[in-house]
Structure 1
Amino acid sequence: MKIAIIGAGAMGSLYGGLLAEGGQEVLLVDVWQEHVDTINQWGLSMEGVNGHRTIKNIKATTNPSYAEAMDLVIVFVKSTITHIAVSQHKKLCDNNTTVLTLQNGLGNIEKIMETIDKKNIIAGTTAQGCTLLAPGKINHAGVGDTYIGELDGTTSPRIKEIHKAFTAGGLKTNISNNVLGLIWGKLLVNVGINALTAITNLRNGQLVEFEETEELLELAVEEALAVAMARGIELPYGDPVAHTKKICRATALNKSSMLQDLLNKRKTEIAMINGAVVTEGEKLGVKTPVNKVLTNLITVLEKNQ
């Protein structure tokens, strides 16, 4: 299978590397020239849970205009630039190309639909953990399941083919008939963790060590749950608040991606996480004051960098 990955940061590089190891023809697309050059010259260096090795049967580029249409395009850029990234690289797609988003937050499917026909789009979530250590070097920090699915919940031949390719690369993958529920399920966890850790400079586990942050986590997640219920979303777990606290404890030492973004003076994905809850709530008549406060505070911190 010919696969392009738009956004070869930590997660994009991880999936690209593992898929290449599994025998797929992989092209990483990223704006970081040094990262791209290192991979092309020396290969992708991967260390972590599955040992240290260098993956050499992989290509990278900052300009894929020469490339032919792919069988599969995986979008791993920040949600804030989804539309720009996909539209700039639409030559990677033709009528037979499947585009998969494994990004965080809400709205990515709709942004991809501005360029790609809805019938060519599938979605999913990932619980893999990875960090980018240096140009051409990543640390596979944690193994987790990948879920992929058609937007209409069917089990199509292409989903089965992609599942096979992912599994061949060592990615434990499940086909879901409720992928939108999974996306919302992951969103609620991010709603409870990301903004609070970024504002307080706390690690994930510390959120449940202080009664004040634990209460705010509960309120933010409960608001998001009310919005999800109003949308008719079927979540993949029973108690979102308990589930989010469980994730806090399981990833206790982690610095959330939003906290890392602020520390590195990068734009966050607040608009697609807590901000998306606020936006959806306004559409549905569901009040979300805590998420509004968290969104505004993160926005001010971004502006003040």
Structure 2
Amino acid sequence: MVIKTVSIIGLGALGTLYGHHLSKIMPKENLRIIADSNRIARYKKTGIFCNGERCNFNFITPEENCEPADLLLFTVKFDGLQEAIESVKYHVGHNTIILSALNGISSEEIIGQTYGMEKILYCVAQGMDAVKIENKLTYANKGLLCFGEKEAGIVSEKVKSVADFFTRVELPHEIDTNMLHRLWGKFMLNVGVNQTVAVYKSNYGEVQRDGEARNTMIAAMREVIALSEKEGVSLTEKDLHYWLNVLGTLSPDGKPSMAQDVDAKRPSEVELFSGTVLRLGKKHGIPTPINKMLYDQFQLIESSYAHF
């Protein structure tokens, strides 16, 4: 299948980054940004800016009937996933390929429960250092999308179609034939980096150099390694160093999404990270004290929002 039409739901950092990139290459009518009418009105009034350039998006509401997309990309926060699944129903057809760039290790299965796992390719967004403040996104590194089938060792026609499309539109990408391992590796990084930078109220630079914050981050990541073995994924120290190298490519002044949430006094994805680690730790009888500390810190941080 040749991918010609793309729908994106979620205009956070990733949705804005990918949407802006594609909008400069694709015919406007072939790229659809799904949003409710109130959001669309706000976006049109204030504009959305990517590295100082105003984005030229083709918006469509969830209620509008349309031809299904060849490729559907989820870039919402996890707490908005169920609403997003409802909102994209007119964009999913028999041949639609779905990618989820959400954090965590569960969004593909959740989307697949509604639209069928046969439409899903597993996906990890890595290496970007995008920061979005209100309607303005800035980034130094675009990173890349890694994707593949859930079943290890195969490169399906769906995978080839997406790779061909990303090559045509010059979007950095990589095919991975062991996506569960990649998904857990990114989860490990997020558990360490997202939470530590937010709790230490800092930036990537703080965890790129030796010190207490970096030690905390690595200790949280090692707790994920211990759990991964019990979950049949088996991350290793080699994986830890791979993801630390990815971290080293990011702008020191950048911040992960959880730190941006704390700055804006928004609810975070802590349940997706240390919350998941604590639940798996309890399931397997493995202590996870660093993630317990980070989880508790987030409860204190978020409980303070009501006072502002």
Q: TM-score w.r.t. structure 1 length?
A: 0.85
1:103-118 matches, cutoff 5 A: 103-118=102-117
Q: d(CA) in 1 for partners of 2:45 and 2:156?
A: 37
CA deviation after TM superposition for structure 1 residue 222, in Å: 1.0
Which deviations, in whole Å up to 9, do the C-alpha atoms of 1:247-286 show, x marking residues without a partner?
5544322222111101101111111122222222323332
- Residues 18-62 of structure 1 show CA distances to partners (whole Å, capped at 9, x for unaligned) of 2343436110123533454269xx8x75437xxx6x664x41134
- Distance, in Å, in 2 between the alignment partners of 1:195 and 1:263 is 13
Structure 2: stretches of 5+ with no match in the other structure: none
1:77 is displaced (CA, Å) by: 0.1
Equivalenced residue count is 295
Question: What does residue range 149-298 of structure 1 map to in structure 2 within 5 Å?
Answer: 149-153=148-152, 154-207=154-207, 209=209, 211-233=211-233, 235=235, 238-240=238-240, 242-251=241-250, 252-298=252-298
> Is the Cα–Cα contact under 8 Å of residues 62 and 87 in structure 2 kept in the other structure?
no
Supply the AA of the counterpart residue of 2:44.
Answer: D
How is 1:118-133 mapped onto 2 (pairs within 5 angstroms)? Answer: 118-126=117-125, 127-132=127-132
Counterpart of 1:4 in structure 2 is: 7
Return the alpha-carbon distance in structure 2 between the equivalents of residues 222 and 93 of structure 1.
Answer: 39
Aligned pair in 2 of structure 1 residues 76, 216: CA closer, same or farther (>3 Å)? same
Quote the offset at 1:227 in angstroms: 0.7
* 2:44 alignment counterpart: 37
CA distance in structure 2 between the partners assigned to 1:134 and 1:262 by the alignment = 14
- The answer to whether the 8 A contact 1:123-1:148 is kept is yes
Give the superposition deviation at 1:299.
Answer: 2.9
Deviation at 1:165, TM superposition (A): 1.3
1:26 corresponds in structure 2 to 31
Which aligned runs of 4 or more in structure 1 are off by greater than 6 angstroms? Answer: none
User: TM-score, normalised to structure 2's length?
Assistant: 0.84
State which drifts further: 138-147 or 154-163.
Answer: 138-147
Residue 61 of structure 1: aligned partner: 60
Q: Please, which runs of 5 or more residues in structure 1 have no aligned partner?
A: none
CA RMSD of aligned residues (A): 2.7
Contact 1:131 1:141 (C-alpha < 8 Å) held by counterparts: no
CA deviation after TM superposition for structure 1 residue 64, in Å: 4.7
From the superposition, tell whether residues 263 and 71 of structure 1 become closer, same or farther in structure 2 (CA, over 3 Å).
same
CA contact 1:149–1:155 (8 Å) conserved in 2: yes
Change (3 A) 1:160 1:146: same
Bigger drift between 65-74 and 216-225 goes to: 65-74
Q: Distance in 2 between matches of 1:64 and 1:183?
A: 32
Compared CA separation, residues 70 and 239, structure 1 to 2 (3 A): closer
Could you give the per-residue CA deviations for residues 72-125 of structure 1, whole angstroms, max 9, x where no partner exists? 110000012212211232222123222111111222122213322111111211
Q: Contact 1:5–1:76 at 8 Å: present in 2 too?
A: yes
Identify if the C-alpha distance between structure 1 residues 203 and 139 changes in structure 2 by more than 3 Å, giving closer, same or farther.
closer
Tell me which amino acid in the other structure corresponds to 2:6.
I
Q: Is the 8 A contact 2:225 2:236 kept in 1?
A: no
Q: CA deviation at 1:243?
A: 4.3
Specify whether residues 248 and 172 from structure 1 end up closer, same or farther in structure 2 by C-alpha distance, changes over 3 A only: closer
Give CA deviations for 1:170-227 in whole Å, capped at 9, x if unaligned: 2121111111111111111111111122112122222355643233223211111111
Q: Distance in 2 between matches of 1:214 and 1:197?
A: 9
Shift of 1:17: 2.8
Judged with a 3 Å threshold, the aligned counterparts in structure 2 of structure 1 residues 134 and 239 are, in CA distance, closer, same or farther, namely closer
Give the Cα separation in 1 of the matches to 2:44 and 2:14: 18
Distance 1:193 1:62 in 2: 35
How many percent of aligned residue pairs carry the same amino acid? 26
Amino acid at match of 2:14: M
Distance in 2 between residues matched to 1:237 and 1:157, nearest whole Å: 33
